[in-house]
Amino acid sequence: MIQFTKEQRFIVTGASSGIGEAVALRLNELGASVIAIARNEERLLGMKTKSKHPENIYIEIKDLAENIEQLPSYVKELKDKYGKFQGLANCAGVGRILPLKSIDFTEMQKLFNINYFSPVFMTKGFTDKRNNNGKGSSVVCIASSGGVHCDPGMTEYAGSKGALIATMQAIARELAPSYIRVNCVSPSLISTNMADEISRSFAEGKYPMGIGKPQYVANTVVFLLSKQAEWITAQNYIIDCGAI
Amino acid sequence: MNKEEFLTNMQDVLQTEEDLNYETVLEDLDEWDSLSVMATMAFLEKNFNIKTTMKDYKEMKTIGDIAKKAGL
């Protein structure tokens, strides 16, 4: 049984909807304090009203795709405000299916900012030992099964997630001697706002257990952030009901 | 970058909670490992345009020795 205390603080990005929301709610349900980051205050407050212990949810409004260079200082500011962190769940991300002939460099860079550079620099801030609880602290990034096995039209998205998986593995190996763990969770199609009609049409008939739910992913994320996963690092867990 | 700023920056390069001064012995810092040497190399090159090699660090004993290399 996984349990946390309210002194164990977790940063969850993209916490206002989808997988990020599910991760924030699950951590909170199990007793942890959650610093929930997203752009939309209204939706963050909506998430907070659904939580079991709303007094342990702290809302931070921030666009993580802006001033990425400053994200490590931002994590430090959060540490000064709340105290050191036990874990970081990088859940913010955007999805897009677009054929190669339609991709545009500026738009692709924007997608990489939120899917790749932002989690990398949040991780840089979190893993600064002045900001975390030391041994046993842990990072989980939401990547995608598309980062390992992709479909047509995923030039941008698969590239960003594949890069994230590789980078997190390198970071994990760098930090293993400090007992700080870093893992990725790679879901396939999950029923969220991000999964638009186009993605759903691609998915037809592909999932023997049906399209996934955010809670399925959240359970794995929470496990990896917990002490139960203490010897697990540098891994990428694919959650896709065997569809690949 | 003045001498004071150099110390603050080195604290960030090493991600250490220790208060650094020019006499701080590198070997006494838990954070002083091969990756920290690489981080220091990158820091000196980016901020002072000074290239260092692993060999240089074998001769450096204190934070002050790194500052000297930076021309401070």
Which ipTM did the prediction report?
0.77
**pLDDT of A47-73, one tens digit each?**
999 999 999 999 999 999 999 999 999
- B53 touching chain A per CB within 8 A: no
8 Å CB contact between A89 and A11: yes
CB A96 within 8 A of CB A156: yes
- Quick: pLDDT tens for B15-35: 999 999 999 999 999 999 988
Chain A residues in contact with B16 by the CB 8 A cut-off are 129-130
Superfamily of domain B3-69: ACP-like (1.10.1200.10)
The alpha carbon of residue A64 is apart from the nearest alpha carbon of chain B, in Å, by 22
Instruction: Give this prediction's pTM.
Output: 0.91
For residue A198, pLDDT beyond 90: no
Residue A210's pLDDT band, with cuts at 50, 70 and 90, is confident
Structure tokens at A170: 């390198």
**CB–CB of B17 and A130 under 8 A?**
yes
Cα–Cα distances in Å, from A215 out to A6, A209, B36? 21, 15, 39
Q: Is A203's pLDDT higher than 80? A: no
Rg (CA), chain A: 17
Domains of chain A: 9-239 (3.40.50.720)
Instruction: List the strands of the sheet with A236-239, edge to edge.
Output: A57-61, A33-38, A9-13, A87-90, A138-142, A181-187, A236-239
- Confidence tier at A197 by pLDDT (50, 70, 90): low
B35 near A CB under 8 A: yes
- Note whether A134 contacts B: Cβ–Cβ < 8 A: no
Cβ(A125)–Cβ(A71) under 8 Å? Answer: yes
DSSP state of B71: T
Measure in Å the smallest separation between the Cα of A178 and chain B Cα atoms.
Answer: 10
Burial zone of A116 (CB within 10 Å; 0-12 exposed, 13-18 middle, 19+ buried)? buried
* In chain B, where the domains are located: 3-69
Summarize pLDDT for A152-176 with one digit per residue, the tens: 889 999 999 999 999 999 999 999 9
The helix/strand/coil state of A36 is strand
Which of A118, A114, A89 has the alpha carbon at shortest distance from A22? A89
Residues in chain A: 244
Please give the pLDDT value at position A25: 98
Q: Which residue has the tokens 């304090």?
A: A33
At A196, is the pLDDT very low, low, confident or very high (cuts 50, 70, 90)? Answer: low
- How confident is residue A97, by pLDDT bands cut at 50, 70 and 90? confident
Predicted confidence at residue A135, as pLDDT, reads 96
